[in-house]
A and B are shown apart, each in its own frame.
Chain A
Amino acid sequence: MLRDITIGQYFPGNSIIHRLDPRFKIVITILYIVMLFTGSSYICLAVGAVYTFGAILLSRIPLKMFFKSVKPLFIFLMITALINLLFMSRGNVLFHWKFIKITDEGVNTSVFMVIRIVLLIMGSSLLTYTTSPITLTDAIERLLSPLRKIKFPVHELAMMMSIALRFIPTLIEETDKIMSAQKARGAEIDTGSFTTRAKNLISILVPLFISAFRRADELATAMECRCYHGGEGRTRLRQLKSAPRDYIALGITILFLAAVIVLSRLF
């Protein structure tokens, strides 16, 4: 059912990873991505994997959840692997049939790429699993705040992000209701041929858009009524404070990154 979809996928908890300052978590995640992409040997990947699984263990979120996060991207992974397999012409030919040529290096790269992407997804899922969407946008706002100097609308951007996140569950519920209402009128949505289904999609999209616009309008009025005006001079309910553990986490990440850089030079 539609309402079982989770976006934002926050997994409430109280582990050390959950309690890290979200600003640090974002920076660490960026460093983590750099770490995965600097190394080009399996040893570097192994270091990355140790880091990933260590962090997952600390977060106390079942490993199953992380495999679930990879699943929707399975097709994308397969295509990446296939392209690497088919178009890599270097190395010894293992298999040759008509225009298809598979080399050992091709096999090597595709396996490497798949592992790298899987680690990437799992690591970044850790960020969204352990940080609520609202804190995440808060942190993004703070991290981007230097850009305000060049008149970049940082606060407005963050506000738009939080509003969008806030309304995802509402819109899902709304879609569910409209779908049921149209099904009650005999619209074939999850059955029937592809063309009838596509046609019936209109009967869902039109009401959905109308209600989304209506909600946006109401929200704007409600904000106006409470005299909302941008970021200038606004204080916040939850102040972000960094603790020693944040610096320790950052330090560990930098150490791993350094190790990967050194290893990639050696091998």
Chain B
Amino acid sequence: MAILETQELTYTYSMGTPFEKTAVDHVSLKIEEGEMVGVMGHTGSGKSTLIQHFNGLLKPTSGKVLLDGKDIWADKNRIRDVRFKVGLVFQYPEYQIFEETVYKDIAFGPKNMGLDEAEIKRRVHETARDIGLSEELLERSPFELSGGQKRRVAIAGVMAMEPRVLILDEPTAGLDPAGRDKILEHIKRYHERTKNTILIVSHSMEDIASFADKILVMSKAKLFCYDETVKVFARAEEISRIGLDVPQITRVFGELKHRGLDFGKEVFTVGYARDLLLRKLGEREGR
């Protein structure tokens, strides 16, 4: 059974006013347990609105959101439990930091869950390790840290609730390449350790391509496509037509195919491209 599911999910902002706008239009999809899903779409495509439905921050105008096959809005008073099961990290999450120490800020979520002190301690230390924050940072004020470190503190704050589904909205926005790689690497490691479902929203296909199992593309409030990474990139041309960038390497291989050199496979990481080329060269030499 799918862990998260939406059925004909529709959300309209400012219903009944001249500013009415449908941000999510009849979206139905299923996300399986343990998957790593990349969510793409450009600004205003409805992806941020969509993910805010997954943990019940927004209530659908029509349609349903199911967690473990149960409608999350069936009992309005239990919506807080949904938020502990589906953790959402917003864009620029470092702006939500408010406690005096890093430890306390990471502990805010678990504390709200009503866990005991020992369990909170275990979780804070474990997620700090996962996200690459050293022990001595925990007692520092989060406001003294660098931008990348602050971002990791904020992400740890949600991870520490040990949600079964972790959603990150552009976790690398505004970071330098080193900070970006570090965060992505730690998220990947967290995924490997916990085997939890993860959704990552990103503008950059390059970021997602290397490790997402599946890719979900939103365009103009509608679900454009949702499929395995390979299959989505096979539609590279359509995707660039709706204004999204496909990875450079995919474009290069698309051009090669166009000119008569077909590798028969979609390529979206440089490492894979190298292997493929080396193999091809080897075949030639062997001949």
Is B80 a contact of A184 with CB atoms below 8 Å?
no
Chain B residue with Cβ nearest A209: B98
Contacts of A203 in B (CB 8 A): 96, 98, 108
Q: Does B52 contact A (CB under 8 A)?
A: yes
Is B95 a contact of A184 with CB atoms below 8 Å?
no
Contact pick for B90, options A184, A202, A206, A210, CB 8 Å: A184
Residue among A180, A184, A202, A210 with the highest chain B CB neighbour number at 10 A: A184
Contacts of A188 in B (CB 8 A): 80, 112
Q: How far is the CA of A203 from the CA of B96 in the complex (A)?
A: 8
Q: Using a Cβ cutoff of 8 Å, how many contacts connect chains A and B?
A: 56
Is A180 a contact of B112 with CB atoms below 8 Å?
no
Quick one: CB contact mask for A184-205 with B, threshold 8 Å, 1 for yes? 1111100100000000001100
Chain B residue with Cβ nearest A214: B95
Count residues of chain B with CB under 8 A from any CB of chain A. 25
User: Is the contact region of chain B dominated by helix, strand, or loop, or is it mixed?
Assistant: helix
Chain A residue with Cβ nearest B81: A186
Contact pick for B95, options A178, A191, A202, CB 8 Å: A178
Chain A: number of interface residues, binned into ranges: 10 to 19
Is B157 a contact of A185 with CB atoms below 8 Å?
yes
Is B96 a contact of A178 with CB atoms below 8 Å?
yes
Q: How far is the CA of A182 from the CA of B154 in the complex (A)?
A: 11
> Which residues in chain B, 33-68, are within 8 Å of chain A measured between CB atoms?
52, 55, 57
Is A187 a contact of B57 with CB atoms below 8 Å?
no
Q: Does B223 contact A (CB under 8 A)?
A: no
Q: Does B161 contact A (CB under 8 A)?
A: yes
Contacts of A34 in B (CB 8 A): none
CB distance from B54 to the nearest CB of A (A): 10
Quick one: CB contact mask for B96-125 with A, threshold 8 Å, 1 for yes? 111000000000110011000000000000
Is B98 a contact of A184 with CB atoms below 8 Å?
no
Quick one: CB contact mask for B128-162 with A, threshold 8 Å, 1 for yes? 00000000000000010000000000000110010
Q: How far is the CA of A202 from the CA of B99 in the complex (A)?
A: 9
Contact pick for B83, options A183, A206, A211, CB 8 Å: A183
Contacts of A178 in B (CB 8 A): 95-96
Quick one: CB contact mask for A204-247 with B, threshold 8 Å, 1 for yes? 00110011000000000000000000000000000000000000
Is A211 a contact of B84 with CB atoms below 8 Å?
no
Is A184 a contact of B97 with CB atoms below 8 Å?
no
Contact pick for A186, options B77, B93, B113, CB 8 Å: B113
Q: Does B87 contact A (CB under 8 A)?
A: yes
Contacts of A211 in B (CB 8 A): 95
Is B97 a contact of A186 with CB atoms below 8 Å?
no
Q: How far is the CA of A29 from the CA of B81 in the complex (A)?
A: 53
Q: Does A177 contact B (CB under 8 A)?
A: yes
CB distance from B281 to the nearest CB of A (A): 50
Contacts of B158 in A (CB 8 A): 184-185
Contact pick for A207, options B57, B89, B96, CB 8 Å: B96
Q: Does A73 contact B (CB under 8 A)?
A: no
Interchain Cβ contacts under 8 Å between A and B, 16 examples: A4-B14, A181-B90, A181-B93, A184-B55, A184-B87, A184-B90, A185-B112, A185-B161, A186-B109, A191-B77, A191-B80, A203-B96, A203-B98, A207-B95, A207-B97, A210-B143
Q: Show the binding face of A for B, using Cβ within 8 Å.
A: 4, 177-178, 180-188, 191, 202-203, 206-207, 210-211
Which 6 A-B residue pairs are closest in the complex by CB-CB distance? A186-B112, A206-B98, A181-B96, A185-B109, A184-B88, A181-B90
